[in-house]
Amino acid sequence: MNTMIKSIAAVAGIAACALVAQAEPPEAINLRKTVTVGVFEKTKDAVVNISATKRVRQRVSAFGGDPFFEQFGPGQIVERDAGSLGSGFIAHPDGYVITNHHVIDRARTVTIELADGRKLPAEVISSDAEADLAVLKIGETGPFPTLPLGDSSDLMIGEPVIAVGNPLGYSHSVSTGIVSALHRELPINQQISLKDVLQTDAAINPGNSGGPLLNAYGQVIGINTAIRGDAQNIGFAIQVNTLRDLIPELLSPKQTAKLDLPLQLTERRALAAPATVTPEVTLGGKAVKKVNGREVRDILDAYVQLLKLSDGDQVSIELIDGSTETVAARQLPLPEGLAVARDRLGLKLEMLTPALSQKYGIPVENGMLVMEVLARSPAARAGVQPGDVIVQIGRYIVRNESDFSGLMNALPQSGRIRFGVVRQNAVGSIFVTL
For 77-94, write each residue's pLDDT tens digit.
555 666 778 999 999 999
In the chain, ranges of CATH 2.40.10.10 domains = 41-138, 160-242
Segments in the chain below pLDDT 70:
1-26, 55-82
Please give the CATH number for the structural domain made up of 260-331: 2.30.42
* pLDDT for res 292: 93
User: CA-to-CA distance for 210 and 88, rounded, in angstroms?
Assistant: 5
CATH of 336-433 given 2.30.42.10, 3.30.930.10, 2.40.50.140, 2.60.120.920 = 2.30.42.10
Q: Report the relative pairing of strands 265-272 and 276-283 from DSSP bridges.
A: antiparallel
132 is a catalytic site residue: yes
298 is a catalytic site residue: no
The CATH superfamily holding the domain 160-242 is Trypsin-like serine proteases (2.40.10.10)
Q: Which fold has domain 41-138?
A: Thrombin, subunit H (2.40.10)
Q: Is 99 helix (H, G, I), strand (E, B) or coil?
A: strand
* pLDDT for res 160: 98
**Contact at 8 Å (CB) between 165 and 87?**
yes
* pLDDT for res 59: 54
E strand spans, 273-400: 276-283, 286-291, 294-295, 314-319, 324-328, 330-331, 347-351, 368-373, 389-393, 396-397
pLDDT in tens, 3-36: 544 554 444 454 444 444 455 666 778 889 999 9
User: CA-to-CA distance for 78 and 57, rounded, in angstroms?
Assistant: 6
In 167-182, which positions are buried (b, 16+ CB within 10 angstroms) versus exposed (e)? beeebbbbbbbebbee
User: CA-to-CA distance for 426 and 159, rounded, in angstroms?
Assistant: 59
pTM: 0.83
260 is a catalytic site residue: no
**Contact at 8 Å (CB) between 166 and 173?**
yes
152, 175, 209, 405: the active-site residue: 209
First to last CA, the chain: 126
132, 301, 388, 403: the active-site residue: 132
Number of other residues whose CB lies within 10 A of the CB of residue 221? 27
84, 87, 102, 388: the active-site residue: 102
* pLDDT for res 187: 86
